[in-house]
Amino acid sequence: MQGRIHSIETFGTVDGPGIRFVLFMQGCALQCQYCHNPDTWDLQGGRSLSVQEMVDEIEPYIGYYRRSKGGLTVTGGEPTLQAKFVEEVFRECKKRWNLHTALDSNGFCEPENVAGLIEATDLVLLDLKHIDRNKHIELTAQPNDRMLRFARYLSDIGKKMWIRHVFIPGVNDDEEDLLNLGRFIGTLNNVEKLELLPYHMMGIFKWEQMGKAYPGAHFRSPTDEESDRANQLIQQGIVEGKAGKQAPSAIAAGADKTPTPVDSETVVEINAAAFEGNRATHR
């Protein structure tokens, strides 16, 4: 089986626990205005590798991943567009090394099409870009219905999740939107962490190299105070969601189910490291 690969990183530290091999897949159905990897959108771009060739790329670094309790993270682009290939890579890595596997996804998929992949995945890093449906369309060119259904599916089957949210002042900083995002997250089971990722401008050069106008030219990075405010509002929403208060978008996604009580508070952190590295992390 062949997959279309954009690039690899052998020493990733921000896409899951420990030191990780990060595989960037080609193809994405969204057109996020702040995307820092627009060169991954084309499903026919990049290069073609077999499952065996991909595993061979990982093997020299296994010692680092084991000692750090790290593993393999597959991102993109959107990796669920090549779900079967990613599943086979995950299963082979499990078979050979029992390697921890993480899927970094925007959730634009149908659960029945990715069930095998999710079974082979230890952790899903789910990027929820906007809780408001209309604003999500404006930001990404797609509605968020599939993303919310996918989050509900992961919750229902008990899959471990980290929720990621790229925070952009003036775009997704509305108080009610942040509360509703938290309320939705509060209805989900097995959310281990929420990463609030402050927007950065490190990927603009890719748009320029491709001869495209950057649609997020008017965006700016948040101040510490703005990030703290967003953090507090999302935390408040999580508490309200666990108590039964739901976001309108969450109800449409099936969040009217009573969530299983959790023993510990969801970890919420502002992940500055995710935008201080050498590569862009916003998809």
Give residue-wise pLDDT tens across range 224-235.
999 999 999 999
Tell me the three state secondary structure of residue 165: strand
Pairwise CA distance, residues 109 & 235, whole Å: 27
Give residue 261's pLDDT. Answer: 36
DSSP for residue 35: -
Contact 215, 221 (CB under 8 A): no
Task: Find the domain containing 103 and state its range.
Answer: 2-275
DSSP for residue 254: T
Q: Does some domain include residue 282?
A: no
Q: Does some domain include residue 184?
A: yes
Give residue 248's pLDDT. Answer: 64
Q: Does some domain include residue 280?
A: no
Q: Does some domain include residue 50?
A: yes
Tell me the three state secondary structure of residue 163: strand
Give residue 268's pLDDT. Answer: 56
Q: Tell me which H or E stretch contains 208.
A: helix 204-209
Q: Does some domain include residue 170?
A: yes
Domain of residue 236, CATH code: 3.20.20.70
DSSP for residue 104: E
Give residue 256's pLDDT. Answer: 45
Q: Tell me which H or E stretch contains 198.
A: strand 191-198
The total of structural domains in the chain comes to: 1
In the chain, count of helices (H) and strands (E)? 10, 9
Q: Does some domain include residue 260?
A: yes
Q: Does some domain include residue 205?
A: yes
Contact 112, 81 (CB under 8 A): no
CA quadruple 101, 109, 264, 268: dihedral sign: positive
Structural tokens at position 130: 């906007």
How confident is the model over 98-156, as pLDDT tens digits? Answer: 999 999 999 999 999 999 999 999 999 999 999 999 999 999 999 999 999 999 999 99
Cα-trace Rg, the chain: 18
Give residue 246's pLDDT. Answer: 72
Give residue 25's pLDDT. Answer: 99
User: How many C-beta neighbours within 10 Å does residue 44 have?
Assistant: 8
Pairwise CA distance, residues 272 & 36, whole Å: 16
Q: Does some domain include residue 283?
A: no
DSSP for residue 217: T
Give residue 247's pLDDT. Answer: 66
The pTM assigned to this predicted structure is: 0.89
Give residue 267's pLDDT. Answer: 54
Q: Which residues of the chain have pLDDT under 50?
A: 251-252, 254-265, 272-283
Give residue 269's pLDDT. Answer: 59
